Amino acid sequence: MGNRAWIYSRIAGEPDKHLTMQTEHLRQYAADNGLEIAGTSEERFSGRIMDRPGLTEVEQAAQQGRMDILLVQSLSRIGRTRDVNAWINKIVDCGVEVYSIKEGFIFNQRHRAFDGAVMYCRVAAEQQLL
């Protein structure tokens, strides 16, 4: 696996400082782990909507082979619907690992997303079990 990371950050609303802090935390994580930042997508949208410009940008970059790893703060940043696992698998199918810092969970060709895993990570993180 290569070391080109794409950073994806999302908040549902204001203030902008939370989006900035999320992105900066991911940048620091990348630096601490020897990852080259290949791109960044930030957006302010509800996680209940999966048709978002930022996710589309990530998907296109993955399809074009512009990243090896997608870094997110939490799986909930990708979304809060049942469609999250299908979206993660679409990114994985492009040869990209999806890594969630908060949950410490990696999805890749060997460990694909499925309803139980994504739901467990989301619930556990919200209850601070992970």
pLDDT tens figures, 72-89: 999 999 998 888 889 999
Whether residue 123 is predicted with pLDDT greater than 70 in this model: the reply is: no
Degrees (nearest 5) of the Cα angle 9, 26, 22? 50
Domain ranges of the chain: 4-126
Top-level CATH class of 4-126?
alpha beta
Per-residue pLDDT, 109: 79
Question: What is the band of 130 on the pLDDT scale with cuts at 50, 70, 90?
Answer: very low
Question: What is the band of 13 on the pLDDT scale with cuts at 50, 70, 90?
Answer: confident
> Model pTM?
0.85
- HSE (side-chain half, CA atoms, 13 Å) at 26: 29
The sign of the dihedral angle between the CA atoms of 104, 79, 61, 117 is: positive
